[in-house]
Amino acid sequence: MAHLFATTDLERNYRVNMNVIGLDGRPRVLGLRELLNEWLVFRTQTVTRRLEYRLGKVDKRLHILDGLLIAYLNLDEVIRIIRREEEPKPVLMQRFKLTDEQAEAILETKLRHLAKLEEMKIREEQKKLATERDEIQGILKSKAKLKKLIASELEADAAKHGDDRRSKIVEREAAQAIDATELIANEPATVVVSTGGFVRSAKGHEIDPRTLQYKTGDAYQHSACGRSVQNAVFLDSTGRAYSLIAHTLPSARGLGDPLSSRVDPPDGATWRGVMMGEPEDLWLVATDAGYGFTVRLKETYSRNKAGKVLLKVPDGALVLPPAPVSDAKALVAVSSKDGKLLVFPVKDVPELARGKGNKLFDIPAKKFASRADHLTGMTVVAPDKSLIVHSGERTMTIAWKDLKDYRGARAQRGSVLPRGWRTVDQLETD
């Protein structure tokens, strides 16, 4: 229902521009509070004028009744004056000290009606009108009584013309549309990036991305496992990170789509890896200059197509594919072009939100500048995993217990790998 309220006309807010003629006779835009205040002032003025009009009518009738009572008490004399005088009105006014209105009322009354006038009826009407006059005067003199009268009249109108409310007034949170991810199946997914920058998503975690078919001249670059509703974060060669929801990516049944069609990387940038998982997951990011740090995945998210700067890349350096940190007791393994391997605790690597990071491996500046030495591989090995060293078409597996031969402190140069395995193309865990 909340989704329907937010996305259909079942619930809508409408703006009302209340441009009205105010009590001062000028047009202006009023808010609801101002409009109600002006209406109450107008209603008060209207009721006041109605009461004053009625009071005038009552006073006039009482004045006429005073004259009729005089005529009744002197009926014979009044009849004689009317019959004998050519101008009876001034005579009546002078004889009985009547006003023009009283004399006119007597003369306009037919004799048969005048004869039937009874003193009790006149006095009863006088009493009734006098009571009404006192009530009206009391209301006009008291603001409280006037407000009470206005309120009672409004309540009476509501009772007479109103009906029961048909829609309930309830307090609830604002309606929001259902997140599209809630309608998507939450299932395991593997996101694969190729060297040519093509991306695709496969169902499950059992797939071997290296066995997928790639375009001519393209090949496997990096992959990450997660859920179809999670963000896949892509890292380019400039150190920028870009976020896309996994279920929006093309299926792995095809050859994929270029990432550059979904995001806007800098000119000349290439794709180096992908990260995926829970927002609090730790990932190790680094450059082949030997510097890196760990970062929470949530810190890499970006809504902009241009992404966000995550890793500061030194001049001439290359971004290494990121590696997940699945265990606090895990070890970082890095290899160099010189054929050395260094292993040290991942806890020794600082956690940052962005930047260049700290030194992971000691590479002389001159050697790095000439590219005579640089990092060739990086991964994080959990206690129950093994390290796999890729050298050309061959692979060598080093068990966790055997990594002690290459243990050292962060920023050292490590130990030499066995002969024939000193040209490392990539490091990964089994």
Residue 2 predicted with pLDDT over 90: no
Let me know: does 72 contact 113? Beta carbons within 8 Å: no
Residue 6: its pLDDT value, please?
Answer: 81
Q: According to the model, what pLDDT value does residue 166 have? A: 83
Order of strands, sheet of 426-429, starting from the edge strand that comes earlier in the sequence: 394-398, 387-391, 426-429
CATH number where 106 lies: 1.10.268.10
Checking phi first, is residue 342 left (phi over 0); if not, alpha (psi -120 to 50) or beta?
A: beta
Confidence of residue 351 (pLDDT cuts 50, 70, 90): very high
> Which residues have a Cβ under 8 Å from the Cβ of 236 and sit 6 or more positions away?
242, 265, 266, 269, 270, 271, 272, 307, 319
Q: What is the pLDDT of residue 5?
A: 82
108 found inside a domain:
yes
pLDDT at 197: 94
Average pLDDT of span 270-281: 96
Rg (CA), the chain: 49
* Same-domain check for residues 127 and 227: no
In this model, does residue 175 exceed pLDDT 70? Answer: yes
Residues 88 and 108: their CA atoms lie apart, in Å, by 12
Last residue of a domain, one of 161, 187, 215: 161
> Could you tell me the pLDDT band of residue 10, with boundaries at 50, 70 and 90?
confident
Please give the residue range of the domain that contains residue 214.
178-277
Higher-confidence position of 16 and 362: 362
The whole-number pLDDT of residue 72 equals 84
Question: Is pLDDT at 181 greater than 70 in this prediction?
Answer: no
Of 126, 161, 196, the residue at which a domain comes to its end is: 161
Structure confidence by residue, pLDDT tens digits, 44-74: 999 999 999 999 999 999 999 999 889 888 8
225: in domain: yes
- Does one domain contain both 47 and 66? yes
Q: Final residue of a domain: which of 227, 248, 277?
A: 277
Separation between Cα atoms, residue 419 and residue 112, nearest integer Å: 145
In a shared domain, residues 119 and 136:
yes
Tell me whether residue 306 is in a domain: no
Q: What is the pLDDT of residue 9?
A: 82
Looking at the structure, do residues 205 and 110 belong to the same domain, yes or no? no
Q: Which band of pLDDT confidence, cut at 50, 70 and 90, is reported for residue 111?
A: low
- Per-residue pLDDT tens over the stretch 192-230: 999 999 999 999 999 999 899 999 999 999 999 999 999
Domain assignment present for residue 297? The answer is no
pLDDT of residue 113: 64
Of 241 and 173, the structure prediction assigns the larger pLDDT to 241
How many domains, the chain?
Answer: 3
Same domain? 260 vs 288: no
In-domain check, residue 12: no
Is residue 135, in this structure, part of any structural domain at all? yes
| Mean pLDDT, residues 104-133 taken together | 82
Amino acid (1-letter code) at residue 89: K
Q: What is the pLDDT of residue 108?
A: 87
Query: What mean pLDDT, rounded, does the chain reach?
Result: 92
Residues 190 and 91 in one domain: no
pLDDT (mean) for 27-35: 92
Residue 110 has pLDDT above 80, yes or no: no
Mean pLDDT of 148-152: 95
Do 287 and 271 reside in the same domain of the chain?
no
* CA 23 – CA 33 distance, rounded (Å): 15
Residue 167 lies in a domain: no
Mean pLDDT (whole number) for 409-430: 93
48 and 155 together in one domain:
yes
Q: Residue 89's pLDDT is what?
A: 93
pLDDT in tens, 81-95: 988 998 999 999 999
Same domain, 287 and 263: no
Residue 14 pLDDT > 90 = no
Q: What is the pLDDT of residue 127?
A: 95
CB atoms within 10 A of CB 283: 24
Residues 153 and 187 in one domain: no
Does 287 share its domain with 419?
yes
Same domain, 369 and 339: yes
Pairing of strands 323-325, 282-286: antiparallel
Greater confidence (393 vs 172) lies with 393
Average pLDDT, stretch 344-362? 96
Query: Does 166 reside within a domain?
Result: no
Q: Taking residues 251-271, what's their average pLDDT?
A: 94
Can you spell out the DSSP letters for 159-185? HHH----SS-----PPP-PPPGGGGS-
Q: What pLDDT, on the 0 to 100 scale, is given for residue 112?
A: 63
